[in-house]
Chains A and B, each alone.
Chain A
């Protein structure tokens, strides 16, 4: 996982995204912290979810509370991981979508594509009864 701001040159202001992971039954909650943008959080998140899928964990809740910035690349990762999880019988569900992320998803009409929850408990409960991959 890439994080920290020491490894690269340039006027980096905000460190790379940090992904925290919690497992609750079959559901994996990922707490994202940082910028989900081009060349920063996008690759970190993609690799993290890929590793989970390889381990057979396909019920994923993304907690976006501490995501300070999202751009089209960040949205692109959400969409591509959503698609690949769905193909494997899983899903990517979102919780605590900040106004900034919401705005972007509204413009790109993705609010109806993702299942979005107000609380983490609801998001986790929404997977109950769905068979894990």
Chain B
């Protein structure tokens, strides 16, 4: 692959990232205008802008002392600034080989001084700059440069917030659509294959808990079902799968409109003899560190059956 196609690919990825912020051609926003204003005050320049470099143009999300809402990319100072990662400072554009023939230097607004801090996206692409501009040659003090960097990070944070808000809204809309189905489900049945990894348990117990809440089960009963499920799956992982996370459990959860939940958990193990499980309430077992799981499931659910030599557990609870 040639350097040229590499560059083209990077630019395509950068533009794709820029689109994710959905900011081009939006109305001015006070949060961005405030930061541009602060930049112009702190750096003591008559002009400041928050620019976003699009395919063929640079568009200003915020502009102080600049007349036009966008300029062609070909004459943009900021397209130079986004090539690097640090603040780019041009003390006098009329003496800069790349810029002295630029129409923004030779004509209106007669730019001489430019300092641009690139705005970096989550993916690492430079989207545009926070820049300050003056009509006369000058420099920034160390403190002004440092402050410009701090403001640049604030602009990046505003951009990131904006993008996260869109992402959250989209995710939330999906969740609401799924949840909207629940009231119409006379029976919900989920047939699941679960990795024998304890990290998978919360997704399962929290999901079932949320479904029962949606079906207006009493809180105490929801707690019992959630805990019984936790115990059943933890047992399956620990004993049925011997803690081997590459193995899987089969689990079905059926919540009927009639108000009954039926849960089965099946493990790939060798099973066990229920008669051989010690009673944890026997005096000699009271202070043992383990052996309470099955006892708890029995105490929490209405009906508990082990079948297939202990490899499959079925437990039921009826809503009261």
Contacts and interface: CB of A to CB of B under 8 A. Distances in A.
Contacts of A10: 195, 197, 199-200
Interface string B227-268: 100110010011000000000000000000000000000000
Contacts of A107: 295-296, 299-300
A79 B199 contact: no
A44 interface: no
Interface in B180-218: 195, 197-203, 206
Given A71-B231, A72-B231, A103-B223, A108 B281 contact: yes
Interface stretch (B12-20, B53-61, B161-169, B282-290): B282-290
Contacts of B295: 107-108
A83 to B, nearest CB: 5
B230 A71 contact: yes
Contacts of A103: 220, 223-224
Given A13-B206, A107-B299, A40 B198 contact: yes
Contact of B292 (A8, A11, A39, A108): A108
A39 B236 CA distance: 13
Contact of B289 (A79, A109, A110): A79
A30 B231 CA distance: 25
Find the residue from B198, B202, B289 having the highest chain A CB count within 10 A.
B289
B269 interface: no
Interface string A30-69: 0000010111100000000000000000000000000001
Nearest to A78: B289
B203 A76 contact: no
Contacts of A40: 198
Nearest to A106: B299
Interface string B291-307: 01101100110000000
A100 interface: yes
A76 B290 CA distance: 5
Interface in B74-116: none
B280 interface: yes
A72 B202 contact: no
Nearest to A82: B287
Nearest to B205: A69
A73 interface: yes
Contacts of B200: 10-11
Contact of B199 (A8, A83, A108, A113): A8
13 contacts: A10-B199, A37-B234, A38-B198, A38-B237, A71-B227, A71-B296, A73-B290, A76-B290, A76-B292, A79-B288, A104-B296, A108-B299, A109-B281
Given A72-B292, A109-B281, 9 more contacts: A9-B197, A10-B195, A10-B199, A12-B199, A40-B198, A72-B231, A72-B296, A83-B287, A108-B292
Interface of B: 195, 197-203, 206, 220, 223-224, 227, 230-231, 234, 237-238, 280-281, 286-290, 292-293, 295-296, 299-300
